[in-house]
Amino acid sequence: MALRFYNTLTQQVETFSTLHDNVVRMYTCGPTVYNYVHIGNLRTFTFQDVLRRWLRHRGYTLDHVMNITDVEDKIIRNAAAQHKSLAEYTEVYTQGFFEDTAQLRLERPERVVKATEHIDDMAATIQKLTDQGCTYVSDGSVYYRISSFPTYGKLSHNDFSGIRAGARVDVDEYDKADARDFVLWKAQKDGEPAWDTPLGPGRPGWHIECSVMAMKYLGETLDIHTGGVDLTFPHHENEIAQAEPLTGKPFVRYWLHAEHLSVDGQKMSKSLGNFYTLRDLVAKGYAPETVRYLLESVPYRKKLNFTMDGLKAAATSIERLRNYKLRVETDKFASGLNEKITERTRQATAAFDEALDDDLNTAGALGAVFEYLRDTNSAMDAGEFLAGNIPAALEFLDRFDSVFDVLRPTAKTGGLSDADVDALVAERNAAKKSRDFKRSDQIRSDLASKGILIEDTKEGVRWKRQ
């Protein structure tokens, strides 16, 4: 079957196609850079990475835009408390975001754009919304009048027919059940940063930045817009309301939302002590790819309960995958080709593809991989897996890893290069040959302390990183 996604707008699973040629025009709400991102945010970004990779597998190219929210209430408050400029303050967390996402092996979108570099575009769009009769001014700030947009609520499927006209809100995030006229342009307050525009000195609200940057780079209608489910209302609802009156066209064709992540069954919060960034988990000794595996193992529309046991299980799964690959690459198999294994590999590939085509069912795809590992490991034990079956098995693993990306171990900082390890392994072999067991044991334990395991097998010595 064809590639299909659940669309929040229609509440249905729909076959995916692009509007123009085979380029997917995709927008992602990026981080608000007032802190290091937590694993709940990273779950959403990891889903987007899997989505990118699978779209490419299906023959599409990507034009993917992500914004960096670098002006916003919390940022202004924190920067002032630290006596820093906005730029100084946000630079630290913008770089931190790129470091964390690189550690998780998330591809960088084709364009990453900052809100503060698009203030004039936002002011111009607000002016156009005013020309359309969608706004009003109060105390120097400009508000969006949601009663001017009759289909407000169509994304979150809320009925806002009872809204109080004129009730408005200045903050960017507000009560989920409560539709309010929201701020597009905030008049300057004492001590706050401001930009001089035809709207008067002030700064943009959060919602306007995404509509403006999305349409500037991707055109009036996007193929895909993604984000965390908590952004559906009000943020994404507001994005639609800001875009569609100007174009008369649908703003987005497929809305994809990633579900919440909880920790030990509870909402993650600093006060509960269950709040984690990637940095916290790496400091506890977990490899970034272990975190990646856990985040991508649960399909994005299911709630993910993050636990330390889950992380340990993820590490074990990665270990099994790496051991299998090592076995395929280094065991000696009898020559020939077993057609049954060829057919089994074809089946596994089809099951893997079908699972990902089905709204990115990552759990199903992993299931297909592990069943294949079990069956072919048994075939190897029974001498039925032949040398001619190696290339297809490795190709299947490559296919898996081009999406999940966990087979390559992250080099430990201050660790040994492969060449260093090879040299030490050779020295250990020589020591054993000359019956210097003290030296050979010493090298083995030194390597083990650096996370490198040596295995003596029938085919000789091989080593791997833990």
Task: Catalog residues that contact Zn ion under the rule CB under 5 A.
Answer: 29, 210
Question: Least CB distance from residue 186 to Zn ion, whole Å?
Answer: 17
Residue whose CB is less far from Zn ion, 300 or 306: 300
* DSSP calls for 103-131: HTTPPPPSEEEEGGG-HHHHHHHHHHHHH
- Cα distance between the two ends of the chain: 38
d(CA 133, CA 447): 70
Question: Least CB distance from residue 62 to Zn ion, whole Å?
Answer: 18
Question: Least CB distance from residue 236 to Zn ion, whole Å?
Answer: 7
Question: Least CB distance from residue 29 to Zn ion, whole Å?
Answer: 3
Residue whose CB is less far from Zn ion, 226 or 440: 226
Residue whose CB is less far from Zn ion, 29 or 421: 29
Question: Least CB distance from residue 212 to Zn ion, whole Å?
Answer: 10
Instruction: Provide the token pair at 38.
Output: 């937590």
* Helical (H) or strand (E) element with 437: helix 437-449
In sequence order, what E strands does 158-251 have?
168-169, 181-187, 202-204, 222-228
* Helical (H) or strand (E) element with 26: strand 23-28
Residue whose CB is less far from Zn ion, 239 or 405: 239
Residue whose CB is less far from Zn ion, 29 or 106: 29
Q: How many residues in total does the chain contain?
A: 466
d(CA 349, CA 356): 11
Residue whose CB is less far from Zn ion, 251 or 324: 251
Residue whose CB is less far from Zn ion, 116 or 188: 116
Residue whose CB is less far from Zn ion, 29 or 304: 29
Burial label, 414 (beta-carbon count in 10 A; 0-12, 13-18, 19+): exposed
Question: Least CB distance from residue 66 to Zn ion, whole Å?
Answer: 9
Q: Whose CA is closest to 130, among 44, 42, 245?
A: 245
Q: Which residue has the tokens 């995404």?
A: 210
The answer to whether the CB of 64 falls within 8 A of the CB of 226 is no
Residue whose CB is less far from Zn ion, 230 or 401: 230
Report the half-sphere exposure of 179 (CA within 13 A, side-chain side): 26
d(CA 341, CA 170): 63
Question: Least CB distance from residue 322 to Zn ion, whole Å?
Answer: 38
The answer to whether the CB of 280 falls within 8 A of the CB of 291 is no
Residue whose CB is less far from Zn ion, 210 or 341: 210
CA 245 centroid distance within chain: 31
DSSP 409: P
Question: Least CB distance from residue 282 to Zn ion, whole Å?
Answer: 28
Question: Least CB distance from residue 44 to Zn ion, whole Å?
Answer: 12
Residues 364, 294, 270, CA angle at the centre, nearest 5°? Answer: 140
The answer to whether the CB of 125 falls within 8 A of the CB of 246 is yes
Question: Least CB distance from residue 210 to Zn ion, whole Å?
Answer: 3
